[in-house]
C-alpha cells in the first residue's frame, strides 16, 4: 500500500524540464532620457523622478543604455552621482517589483527563471563596471531575495512543489549563489526526489555501500512484507484462473 501511495505521488510530479531560453535585449529604442529628466525637480530628484515613465520606455535589458542614462543624469544633476545611482536602483527594484508582482503571486516557474536570468547579469556587471558596482549589486541582491521569498511562499502553500523539476532548478541556482531556499528535505524526501529523478543506480549504490548489514536486513524484510501479498495473489491466480 505504501509503495502504491509513493508511486501515485510520483506520477503527479511536474517533470517539465524545458528551461526557457534567456530573453535577449530588444533593438535599441529611441526614448529620450533628457526629456524624462526635464520633468524632475533638481531640489528633490528622488521624489520627482518619473519612475513609471522610465520603466515604460527604457530598455531594461541593455546595460550600456543604463550606463548612458546615468551619465545623462550625472551631467544634469552633478551634485551627487551616488544619488543618481540610487534613483536608478529604486526604479529597477522597488518600482519594477510593484509593476510585476502579480506575475509571480502564483507559481509560474518560467517567469521566475527569466527573472533570475535577468538579475544574474547585474552580478557580472558589478565586476566589469566597478564605479557602479554598488548599483548592480543592489539590483542583483534585491531580485534574488525576491525569488527566494516567492519560492518560500509557494512551498508554504504546497510543500509538494519542491519535487517539481523547475522548482528544484531555481533552488539549486539560488544555493549556488549563496541565497536561502525553502527546501531542506528529510531522509525519506531525499529518496523520493532521487526516484523522481530516476536515479535508481545512485540509490542502490548509496544503500549498498553506505548502510550497515542490520539496516539492509530491515529493508529487505520490509520489501518482502510489501511484495508478499502480491506474490501470494499472483500464485493463487495462476493456480486457479477462475479466481
Domain co-membership, 121 together with 153? yes
List the chain residues with pLDDT less than 70.
1-17, 23-30, 184-210, 215, 230, 232, 234-243
Domain co-membership, 66 together with 97? yes
pLDDT single digits (tens) 192-224: 555 555 566 655 666 566 677 776 777 777 777
In a domain, 160, yes or no: yes
In a domain, 166, yes or no: yes
What is the total count of domains within the chain?
A: 3
Domain co-membership, 197 together with 121? yes
Domain co-membership, 240 together with 186? no
In a domain, 1, yes or no: no
Domain co-membership, 219 together with 195? no
Domain co-membership, 144 together with 219? no
pTM of the predicted protein model: 0.70
Domain co-membership, 205 together with 216? no
Residue that terminates a domain, selected from 105, 125, 150: 105
Q: Which residues of 125-145 are buried (b: 16+ CB within 10 A; e: fewer)?
A: bbeebeebbebbebbbbbbbe
Identify the H or E element spanning 104: none
Residue with cell 566597478: 130
pLDDT single digits (tens) 164-180: 999 999 999 999 998 98
Q: What does the alpha-carbon distance between residue 88 and residue 66 come to, in Å, rounded to a whole number?
A: 9
Parent domain of 90: 30-105
Domain co-membership, 101 together with 163? no
Amino acid at each position: 500500500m505504501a509503495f502504491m501511495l509513493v508511486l501515485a505521488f510520483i506520477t503527479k510530479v511536474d517533470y517539465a524540464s524545458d528551461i526557457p531560453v534567456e530573453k535577449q535585449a530588444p533593438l535599441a529604442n529611441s526614448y529620450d532620457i533628457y526629456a524624462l529628466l526635464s520633468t524632475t525637480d533638481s531640489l528633490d530628484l528622488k521624489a520627482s523622478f518619473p519612475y513609471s515613465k522610465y520603466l515604460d520606455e527604457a530598455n531594461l535589458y541593455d546595460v550600456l543604455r543604463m550606463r548612458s542614462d546615468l551619465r545623462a543624469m550625472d551631467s544634469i544633476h552633478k551634485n551627487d552621482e551616488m544619488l543618481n545611482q540610487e534613483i536608478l536602483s529604486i526604479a529597477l527594484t522597488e518600482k519594477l517589483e510593484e509593476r510585476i508582482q502579480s506575475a509571480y503571486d502564483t507559481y509560474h516557474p518560467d517567469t521566475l527563471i527569466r527573472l533570475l536570468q535577468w538579475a544574474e547579469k547585474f552580478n557580472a556587471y558589478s565586476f566589469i563596471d566597478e564605479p557602479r558596482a554598488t548599483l548592480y549589486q543592489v539590483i542583483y541582491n534585491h531580485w534574488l531575495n525576491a525569488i527566494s521569498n516567492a519560492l518560500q511562499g509557494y512551498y508554504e502553500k504546497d510543500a509538494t512543489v519542491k519535487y517539481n523539476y523547475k522548482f528544484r532548478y531555481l533552488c539549486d541556482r539560488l544555493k549556488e549563489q549563496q541565497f536561502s531556499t525553502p527546501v531542506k528535505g528529510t531522509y525519506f524526501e531525499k529518496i523520493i526526489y532521487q526516484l523522481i529523478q530516476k536515479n535508481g543506480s545512485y540509490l542502490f549504490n548509496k544503500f549498498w555501500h553506505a548502510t550497515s548489514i542490520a539496516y539492509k536486513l530491515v529493508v529487505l524484510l520490509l520489501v518482502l512484507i510489501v511484495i508478499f501479498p502480491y506474490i501470494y495473489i499472483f500464485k493463487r491466480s495462476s493456480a486457479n484462473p477462475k479466481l
